[in-house]
Amino acid sequence: MDIGKILLEKEPFSDIMMGNAAVVRAMIEAGVEVVTTYPGSPTPEIAEAARAVLKYESPFYFEYSTNEKVAAEVAFGASLNGRLSVVFFKSVGLNVASDSVVQFSLLEPQGGLVIILGDDPGANSSQNEQDNRHFARMTNIPVLEPADPQQVYEMFIEAVEISVENKMPVFLRMTTHVCHAKSRVSFGDRTIVRSGRGPSFDPDFGEYIPLTSAVAPMKKRSILKLGKIRERSENSRFNYLTDRNASKGIIICGLPSLSLSDLLSEIEDKPDVLTIGMVWPLPLSFICDFCENHDEVLIIEELDDFIEKEVKAAAFDRGLKLKIIGKTEPDDFIGELNQQNLRHFINSKWPELGLKSPAVPLSALTEIKPRPAQLCPGCGHRSAFYAIKKALKEDDITVADIGCHTLGYMRPYEFGKVLLSMGHSNGTGAGLSLFNRTRRIVTILGDSTFFHAGLPGIINAVRNNHDITLIVMENGTTAMTGHQDHAGSKADSESGKKKISIKAVLEGLGVEAVYEVDTYSQSSLTKAVDDALAVKGFSVAIARHPCMLKFTRENRHRGITPDRQAGIDPAKCKNIEACIKVFGCPSFMVNKETGSISVNKELCIGDGSCVQVCPVSAIGIKKKNEAEHE
């Protein structure tokens, strides 16, 4: 059954569902009216589930916004007007949104606002492991942290209640494997009504304008609200106490609590366990009562020692005499606490507890050969990097950015020597260009990032005439996170969405040297980059080609499968391996025994971008049935 239909069931039901889908059902039951986002793992499936619902009904307005800051502002503006709203994005997306989000608790969103964070312990799809609970402390925004899809559903409903009752934003912190975990979830019915909320915006001066004289009263109000929420935290139904009258106790929250439950089944002398559902504000009285009844307490949490420091401070204030054990080694602050890592952590702190050694020693993991990430077969970025490198000198400085093209850093392309965040490349590149008369600077942006965060750096480069060349990789979609639309994607007459031309934007900003080339026209792209580099000041080459993964998937849905296949002419092939070592397409394979090169027919999509790279013209494209009978 289609996920959209499942999520729209009228009556209570249960189903096996991932956390990212369960939260959409919770939105429907809670009466959410506005949902906004900018795509980023681990949260894109929330958007996919929401869009699946919209194929059948329109319980809420949904929008892919230009970036996370805009997404947060759209949701906040709707909430000011009495609409229950949700915004979601990945962990580092909060950095982009923070300029506005830090103000949210000072004001009063009338309709309710839930901010879903996709935090990423283990940096599975992010450039760092930042722990966004620190933002909660800074902004006076409560945080609920679910451990599984059932809690995702229940805690979202709780977050809505807190937000609406107190006219304040609430964070729902979903980590990667809570977002992607699947389990059976029991849902309620769709009887909740929106209670006639909105439109209700009242532009009362001073209420929504945090000028100097108003900030202190607003901050005091937010602190008092947080104190009220702390009372709710103390009695939360998401706090679980397993009391065995043991001398040792464990305080834990989120996903690691599930791994802990499995591990403790191995031993008889089990410690008491206190599981926390609301991690900010913490139920410190409840926690201190727990600590008071134990000689030793181990605090387990992923990433930073956020709970640990709060508990130690509260225990000191209360004069408690016990040993509180937490993070002490650098490795304690790194990675996910899956069952194996949690076992190692507990054994390092409490060897006397008697947990067995890991079934697979951690050292054995280093014996597994790493499998480098790859650009997809037929990816236009591969052709682009192959062509661009021909225009570069060995000492040219290339600056990377966020997107599929970040993989250009890896062999054989080796494009991009520094990476900070989305859209940083032209600002960083401009700095590298200063007092630099001998080395050329080449920066890169994807088309989604161009609109997300690239424009300020471009404007700065144009205004100050920085001597850098920008390569815009235009594939018409936000490919890295699952092919979501952006401002430069094709127009949609049904929804009224317009396509914004990157070239027109650049020309409107005053960029005089703009070159456009399809990346499969490799010699033309090399020349375009050569020409752009010859321009003194800011220049741009737009390297355009559709995302071939998206293209082939859409064709498959239409019943169209690739009918062409690359093939190697053994009479011409000299085993130079340019197709592998220089072009880097994963469809080509080397036979270890003979050294001959062949094509993996399961990977090759027959796009033909590889034909140009063979110096002896040994690569050809044939009809698939012909290639299969070679």
pLDDT in the model for residue 423 = 92
In order of start, what are the domains of the chain with their CATH numbers? 3-234 (3.40.50.970), 240-365 (3.40.50.920), 380-551 (3.40.50.970), 562-628 (3.30.70.20)
What's the whole-number mean pLDDT along residues 552-566?
86
pLDDT in the model for residue 230 = 94
Strand ranges (DSSP E) for 451-508?
469-474
Peptide bond connecting 146 to the previous residue in cis, omega within 30 degrees of 0: no
Q: 369: how many CB neighbours lie within 10 A of its CB?
A: 5
196: pLDDT strictly greater than 50:
no
488: pLDDT strictly greater than 80:
yes
502: pLDDT strictly greater than 70:
yes
pLDDT in the model for residue 373 = 82
Express each pLDDT in 20-40 by its tens digit.
999 999 999 999 999 999 999
Nearest CA to 415 among 382, 371, 457? 382
Give 434's contacts (C-beta < 8 A, 6+ positions apart): 466
The answer to whether 471 and 526 have CB atoms below 8 angstroms apart is no
Nearest CA to 407 among 440, 430, 385? 385
The answer to whether 399 and 423 have CB atoms below 8 angstroms apart is no
The answer to whether 14 and 184 have CB atoms below 8 angstroms apart is yes
Express each pLDDT in 383-431 by its tens digit.
999 999 999 999 999 999 999 999 999 889 999 999 999 999 999 999 9
> Across the chain, how many H-helices and E-strands are there?
23, 23
More confident residue, 197 or 410: 410
480 pLDDT band (50/70/90 cuts)?
confident
What is the token pair recorded at 207? 């209420």
pLDDT in the model for residue 628 = 52
213 pLDDT band (50/70/90 cuts)?
confident
pLDDT in the model for residue 629 = 47
Phi, psi at residue 469, to the nearest 5°?
-115, 125
What is the token pair recorded at 488? 């430069």
What's the whole-number mean pLDDT along residues 439-451?
95
pLDDT in the model for residue 358 = 63
- Strand partners of residue 470: 443, 540
What's the whole-number mean pLDDT along residues 151-171?
96
pLDDT in the model for residue 205 = 52
Express each pLDDT in 294-332 by its tens digit.
999 999 999 999 999 999 999 999 999 999 999 999 999
206: pLDDT strictly greater than 60:
no
520: pLDDT strictly greater than 90:
yes
Report the C-alpha dihedral over residues 392, 539, 524, 527, rounded to 10 degrees: -50
What's the whole-number mean pLDDT along residues 465-484?
92
| DSSP summary character for residue 52 | H
In angstroms, the CA 591 to CA 596 distance is 5
Least reliable range by pLDDT among 261-265, 270-274, 280-284, 555-559: 555-559
Angular region, 117: left φ>0, alpha ψ -120 to 50, beta rest:
beta
In angstroms, the CA 296 to CA 456 distance is 53
pLDDT in the model for residue 397 = 95
pLDDT in the model for residue 554 = 87
What's the whole-number mean pLDDT along residues 145-164?
97
359 pLDDT band (50/70/90 cuts)?
low
357 pLDDT band (50/70/90 cuts)?
confident
Least reliable range by pLDDT among 93-102, 196-205, 277-286: 196-205
- Strand partners of residue 623: 564
204 pLDDT band (50/70/90 cuts)?
low
Please, what is the average pLDDT of the chain?
A: 91
Q: Residue ranges of the alpha helices (H) in 276-400?
A: 284-292, 306-318, 339-349, 362-365, 380-391
| DSSP summary character for residue 478 | B
pTM: 0.88
What is the token pair recorded at 239? 């706090």
354 pLDDT band (50/70/90 cuts)?
confident
pLDDT in the model for residue 479 = 87
In angstroms, the CA 115 to CA 173 distance is 8
